Structure 1
Amino acid sequence: MDSAGPPRPIEPRPRRRDRHGRGMRGPVAPPQVPLSLSRAESFRDLVQDSVERLERRWPQLAEVDFLVMEVPDPRADSVPLGSALPAGKDRPARVVVYRRPIEIRTKNRDERALLIHEVVVEQVADLLGLSPESVDPRYGDN
């Protein structure tokens, strides 16, 4: 009698192709073609571009957290496009940009980039206690 116990099932090999011999054969797109970004990723990139533009003029913004959230708190009376929270004793200052309200108010990427930059400038100005025009001299120019 064999004391090794019941025979163990053989582990199946991972399939690289489906049962017809087809399947993923290589990358979806060649390396020189960029894959498309989601709307949220594209939005985050626009916010990052705006922040980098301002950080060149205001280096102290490196200490500020810039966040993208889908929607603001539903209990608010109006729908804000962004908000600024001053630094606390255990957290840095924070600027929040709300993606969905901005996307609803814009028709294309160029309009979205302009509105995002205006919102970021306004929130940074609020945080620094300055006027938006002093934060970015091109504020309001379309």
Structure 2
Amino acid sequence: MNSFVRRRDRRGRGIRGPLLPPGAPARRTRADLFDDTVLAAMDRLERRWPAVSGTELAVEDVPPSDPAPWETRGVPLGRLFPAESGQPARIVVYRRPVESRALDAEDRVRLVNDVLVEQVAELLARTPEEIDPDVGRP
């Protein structure tokens, strides 16, 4: 009997497996990085406006295909669902529309902040400029 141990596959390429271990920072997806951006922006807003601390925050890839009747101006970047029937208010940010409009990572951070500021302003019945004086500025 031959005690030959096969260390390569039949084409000689070697054993296949993951390129990065599961905990490596480079393994994070674009969706994970976008979630971090949204959480950081909301954290800044909650520190400035404690009234929004009970608001639920969600990120979805795309908005539903059946827009609300008042949404007639294109694809929404975010949406506010007001509190009702004992459920807290909820802000949803749509990842793909935001990413498609952003020019680079810095622009994406600014755009996420603007979307959240607009939704928080609507929630608190204030203007976006009251929530963040820098909203809409490049």
If the TM-score is normalised by the length of the shorter chain, which range does it land in? 0.7 to 0.9
TM-score by length of 2: 0.78
Are the structure 2 counterparts of residues 127 and 23 from structure 1 closer, same or farther at C-alpha, using a change threshold of 3 Å? Answer: same
TM-score by length of 1: 0.76
Match of residue 106 from structure 1: 102
| Secondary structure, aligned partner of 2:91 | strand
The one-letter code matched in structure 1 to 2:105 is R
RMSD: 2.4
| Secondary structure, aligned partner of 1:127 | helix
Structure 2, gaps ≥5 residues long: 9-13
C-alpha distance in 1 between matches for 2:98 and 2:109: 10
The one-letter code matched in structure 1 to 2:97 is P
1:19 positional shift: 4.4
1:23 positional shift: 5.2
**Do structure 1's residue 51 and structure 2's residue 47 form an aligned pair?**
no
Structure 1, gaps ≥5 residues long: 1-17
- Superposed CA offset, 1:40-81 (max 9, x none): 001111101110111111112210001101111112242100
State, as a whole percentage, how many aligned pairs show the same letter.
40
C-alpha distance in 1 between matches for 2:66 and 2:83: 23
**Do structure 1's residue 80 and structure 2's residue 76 form an aligned pair?**
yes
The one-letter code matched in structure 1 to 2:91 is V
C-alpha distance in 2 between matches for 1:19 and 1:51: 53
C-alpha distance in 2 between matches for 1:107 and 1:61: 29
C-alpha distance in 1 between matches for 2:82 and 2:25: 38
The one-letter code matched in structure 2 to 1:106 is A
1:141 positional shift: 2.4
**Do structure 1's residue 34 and structure 2's residue 21 form an aligned pair?**
no
| Secondary structure, aligned partner of 1:63 | coil
- When Rg is computed on C-alpha atoms for both structures, the one with the higher figure is 1
Match of residue 127 from structure 2: 131
Match of residue 61 from structure 1: 52
Match of residue 3 from structure 1: none
C-alpha distance in 2 between matches for 1:19 and 1:90: 63
More displaced stretch, 123-132 vs 82-91: 82-91
The one-letter code matched in structure 1 to 2:102 is T
